[in-house]
Structure 1
Amino acid sequence: MRPLRNPVVQTSVAWLLSEWMRLCFATIRWTHENEQVAEEVWAEGGGVLCAFWHSRIALGPVCWPMQRAQSVKGLVSLSADGEFIAKAVARLGIPAVRGSSANKDKAKQAKGGTQALRDGLKQLKIGALAVTPDGPRGPARQMAEGLPLMAKISGAPVLFIGLSCKPAIRLNSWDKAVLPLPFGKGAVVWDKAWYPEGAELSEVAADWTERLTAVEARADALTGLERV
């Protein structure tokens, strides 16, 4: 068993990571661009899908103001590594809906993905659901059809969220994940869409891939973080 799959190790490291994230979020100088589209969603209430690429998952909690926005849950992988991430993010006020589009040829994962879709749609009746549409294994910045499908079924708007910070640690993972460092510059850039009536899922996924990549690239331009 790998160390991070040990429940005791998971809990300990998740605590350390969450406290590190609190420190970074509090000391980074944040720039917000096009936030009015999010403000409209927060003012209206109701369901909303929040999308950012998997590489920026460690920055996700900073974009959601708990005091004035809808309650939010995060769609997190059923994998053991997903359990670790779920614990860390839950400590920051974002409980998890567990499920994954990966390994969909296996009955257990397929069942979990179906349950996650049901739980996600239930959450969208009352609040926000955060999704990394290229997770949990990629390819990086390529959107699967799960996010457009949930938007189509629920009728909820989608917020595309570009997140960046500098300086940062870049992990040697499939998504080249970004971990924040304190006392630097940060940026949150917003865009919004609804599922277009009559459109094919594949067409929407392709269009939304470009839009989500665009807000992330803009956030990187604001902080000076090198694109990978």
Structure 2
Amino acid sequence: MRFCIKTIRWTHENQSLAEAVWAKGGGVLCVFWHSRIGLAPASWPLDRAQAAKGLISLSADGEFIAKAVARQGFPAVRGSSANKDKADRAKGGSQALRDGLKQLKIGALALTPDGPRGPARVMGEGLPLMAKLSGAPALFIGLSCNPAIRFNSWDRAVLPLPFGKGAVVWDRADFPEGADMADVVTDWTARLTAVEARADAITGLKS
């Protein structure tokens, strides 16, 4: 992953939104759809952005992902909404919320609002709830590269290949005071989907 990300020729769009967040420091939610986990480190320069952790499920797949991103400088906050045992699920989810809010007091928290099992590009209330409780902005990140391997998984995950073309597109939102949660979910879903579609348009990656 490090080799591929380093050799890809990246195009950045609306980077000024991210630069303002990096310059200010403090808490921020870094949001991208689950299929783009393999590209996520390309959007967060460790030399000038605040420290980031990834919210990753307690599943076996999550364990693999947590180890992979940790090797690139992004430790994990572990929590799951998909454990088979309801007690463990509740415990994992509530602990992840507490740990996530703690991280947002000092730095960035990356998460995929359609993970860990989908449906793809369907956002729940977890992301806007964390934004509301923490007061941290949400930075929507569209990521794409071409050529890439597309897995036959529920999210059509993207695995980058080296020496290709890549794109990172940003958008930013704050939880509107007094807003209806369902309306925020609808709006933020559309905006996150839009930045990913824009990134795919730049690289020519087919869905």
Q: What TM-score results when the alignment is normalised by the length of structure 2? A: 0.98
Report the Cα offset of residue 109 of structure 1: 1.2
Q: Summarize deviations over 1:109-158 as a string: whole Å, max 9, x none.
A: 11011000000000000000000000000000010110000000000000
How far residue 202 of structure 1 moved from its aligned partner, in angstroms, is 1.6
In the TM superposition, residue 101 of structure 1 has moved relative to its aligned partner by 2.5
Q: Is 2:22 the counterpart of 1:42?
A: yes
Does the 8 Å CA contact 1:101/1:146 hold for their aligned counterparts? Answer: no
> Percent identity at matched positions?
79
- 3-state SS of the aligned residue for 1:169? strand
Alignment match, 2:9: 29
- The alpha carbon displacement at 1:81 in A equals 1.2
Q: In 2, distance between residues paired with 1:104 and 1:66?
A: 36
Root-mean-square deviation (CA, aligned residues, Å) is 1.0
SS of residue matched to 1:25: helix
Report SS of the residue matched to 1:199. coil
SS of the equivalent of 1:180 reads strand
**Structure 2 matches for 1:114-193, cutoff 5 A?**
114-193=94-173
Residues 4, 161 of structure 2: 8 Å contact kept:
yes
Q: Which residue of 2 aligns with 1:67?
A: 47
Paired AA for residue 107 in structure 1:
A
Q: Distance in 2 between matches of 1:99 and 1:203?
A: 25
Structure 2 Cα separation of the partners of residues 174 and 211 of structure 1: 21
Cα distance, 1:102 vs structure 2: 2.7
Aligned twin of 2:191: 211
Where does structure 2 lack aligned partners over 5 or more consecutive residues?
none
Counterparts of 1:196 and 1:64 in 2: how far apart (Å)? 25
TM-score by length of 1: 0.89
| Count of equivalent residues | 207
3-state SS of 1:166 partner? strand
1:80 is displaced (CA, Å) by: 1.2
Maintained 8 Å contact 1:104/1:110:
no
